[in-house]
């Protein structure tokens, strides 16, 4: 991604009241999170919404080991469906919610599609603080391109990695606007601004990460 586009996107995000940190790679993103953001927030309870980018930084493993906060795990084959729902509700009461985004526009907007809704819910309301880990490959020219990116890249790839789901895009690699009971794109959310200001912090990572 060109440096001018990254700079333009950061300025737009800041104008939209997001707090932005720029990291050259996933290791630097992890350092920014633990050395700068975490000591400032001092969370006692942390939760997350599924994000391949955040997983790539290794922050979850470090948080799970910490003695100064509780980590709410919302995923896992050891959970029953009822337990997953319980912990996903509890995740909205955490001090800090971590995730990524499906797309980020050069106008500083976040665009996300969600199957269940717990990921976008935590981004919108509940936890006092939100930190999103975002690779520069998620930057799009505008909202239309962001939606297109989700329909042709993020959602089909996400469907493919969930082998227990059945959607047509797993075979076509593009959105068929399906009627599948396993449809991943049930709720679409555009976040225009952070409210309150700086509630949503973004670590923009200068490498392609996530779906």
- Contacts with ligand SF4, residue ranges (CB under 6 A): 151, 155-156, 159, 167-169, 175-178, 180, 183-185
Which of residues 112 and 194 has its CB atom nearest to ligand SF4 in the complex?
A: 112
Which of residues 6 and 176 has its CB atom nearest to ligand SF4 in the complex?
A: 176
Distance (Å, whole) CA 53 – CA 174: 21
Which of residues 12 and 178 has its CB atom nearest to ligand SF4 in the complex?
A: 178
Shortest gap between Cβ of 122 and ligand SF4 (angstroms)? 21
Which of residues 96 and 159 has its CB atom nearest to ligand SF4 in the complex?
A: 159
Shortest gap between Cβ of 195 and ligand SF4 (angstroms)? 28
Sequence-ordered list of residues with C-beta below 8 angstroms from that of 58, at least 6 positions apart, any chain: 26, 30
Shortest gap between Cβ of 6 and ligand SF4 (angstroms)? 27
Assess whether the previous peptide bond of 196 is cis (omega < 30° from 0).
Answer: yes
Which of residues 117 and 168 has its CB atom nearest to ligand SF4 in the complex?
A: 168
Distance (Å, whole) CA 103 – CA 93: 25
Shortest gap between Cβ of 62 and ligand SF4 (angstroms)? 32
Which of residues 49 and 156 has its CB atom nearest to ligand SF4 in the complex?
A: 156
Shortest gap between Cβ of 160 and ligand SF4 (angstroms)? 10
Shortest gap between Cβ of 148 and ligand SF4 (angstroms)? 11
Under 8 Å between Cβ of 162 and 91:
no
């Amino acid at each position: 991604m060109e440096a001018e586009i990254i700079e333009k996107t950061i300025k737009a995000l800041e104008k939209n009241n997001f707090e932005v940190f720029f990291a050259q790679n996933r290791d630097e993103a992890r350092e920014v999170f633990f050395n700068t953001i975490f000591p400032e927030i001092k969370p006692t309870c942390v939760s997350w919404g599924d994000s391949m980018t955040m997983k790539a930084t290794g922050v979850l493993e470090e948080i799970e080991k910490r003695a100064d906060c509780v980590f709410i795990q919302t995923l896992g084959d050891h959970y029953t469906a009822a337990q997953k729902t319980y912990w996903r509700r509890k995740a909205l009461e955490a001090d800090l919610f971590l995730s990524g985004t499906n797309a980020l526009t050069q106008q500083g907007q976040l665009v996300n599609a969600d199957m269940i809704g717990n990921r976008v819910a935590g981004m919108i309301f509940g936890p006092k603080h939100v930190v999103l880990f975002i690779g520069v490959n998620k930057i799009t020219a505008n909202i239309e391109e962001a939606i297109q990116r989700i329909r042709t890249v993020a959602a089909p790839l996400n469907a493919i990695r969930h082998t227990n789901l059945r959607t047509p895009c797993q075979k076509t690699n593009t959105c068929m606007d399906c009627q599948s009971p396993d449809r991943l794109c049930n709720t679409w959310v555009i976040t225009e601004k952070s409210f309150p200001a700086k509630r949503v912090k973004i670590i923009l990572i200068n490498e392609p990460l996530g779906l």
